Structure 1
Amino acid sequence: MAARSKARKRAVDVLYEADLRGSDPLELLRERVALASPPIPDHAVRLVEGVAEHAARVDELIDRHARGWSIHRLPDVDRAILRMAVFELLWVDDVPDAVVIDEAVELARSLSTDDSPAYVNGVLGGVLDAEVPTS
């Protein structure tokens, strides 16, 4: 698994755990970084910090594009994947949009339900179409 793929998985792990615990993802991230077992990649830190910083906007976009579901009704792991991917799509300029979506779909395929990859792809496609200007 490539380094950024591992970092995305770690970011989803932290976001998912924080969501389940009802705790601050930044506090949980600090705990995980302090433990350093396994080490938290820099890109994972960047993703979790970015999701936390832009949480309201990220959740608003997911809610708007999650057809038929409110963000709070989504499976927990799908919500974590979508949060990470929406942040990366809109605020991380050094990763191509197609890579972000492909990686999120792969995470959904490996971590969630059979329906999740298509759903994650659809939500992210909607966010991308609505929010990213074309040149």
Structure 2
Amino acid sequence: MPEAPKSQMPARRKARKRALDVLYEADMRDMAPGEVLDAYVKRIEQPRPEHLGYAMGLVEGVATHLDRIDELIASYAEGWTLDRMPVVDRNLARIAVYELLYVEEIDDAVAITEAVELAKQMSTDDSPRFLNGMLGRIAEFTHH
């Protein structure tokens, strides 16, 4: 099946991709996500895409709850430390865990699937399976 053109990518997935870009840059440059987000938003041309609000909410939410999110990732990433994880995977996991814990209207399965789909496009061959397993365990733990 041919890949859908970018314009057909669902808005929330575009938002997650933007949030990933910001969190990735913040991680690589050892900067606060909020600082990177401010600069990122300034670079976006008007009219700004409607999914930008969700992307900003993801970045801000991850930044606010980073300690709790990273604690869960570290606990459930069997055999991996946060530091050794690929940067893309670490930040996709952060977005998904934020959605699992704090975004009521997103189903757990959707949060996990979205992280896995973006990992397929942007990370290593092992990443989708790794994220799927880890996020599944976190979802199970946090929703009992």
Band of TM-score, shorter chain: over 0.9
Choose from 79, 86, 95 the match for 2:90.
Answer: 79
Unaligned 5+ runs, structure 2? 1-8
Shift of 1:109: 0.5
Aligned to 2:41: 33
SS of the equivalent of 1:71 reads coil
Structure 1 residues 37 and 123, CA gap change in structure 2 (3 angstroms): farther
Larger Rg: 1 or 2? Answer: 2
Aligned to 2:18: 10
Aligned to 2:105: 94
Aligned to 2:135: 124
Aligned to 2:3: none
Shift of 1:37: 4.0
User: Match of 1:29, as an amino acid?
Assistant: L
CA distance in 1, matches of 2:68, 2:143: 14
Provide the alpha-carbon RMSD of the alignment. 1.2
SS of the equivalent of 2:106 reads coil
Shift of 1:33: 1.2
Q: What TM-score comes out, normalization by structure 1 length?
A: 0.95
- Tell me which stretches of 4 or more aligned residues in structure 1 moved more than 6 Å: none
Q: Which has more helix, going by share of residues?
A: 1
Shift of 1:35: 1.9
CA distance in 2, matches of 1:82, 1:37: 28
SS of the equivalent of 2:83 reads helix
SS of the equivalent of 1:113 reads coil
CA distance in 1, matches of 2:130, 2:33: 24
SS of the equivalent of 1:73 reads coil
Aligned residue pairs total 133
Identity of aligned residues (%): 52
Q: What TM-score comes out, normalization by structure 2 length?
A: 0.89
Shift of 1:90: 0.5
CA distance in 2, matches of 1:125, 1:98: 8
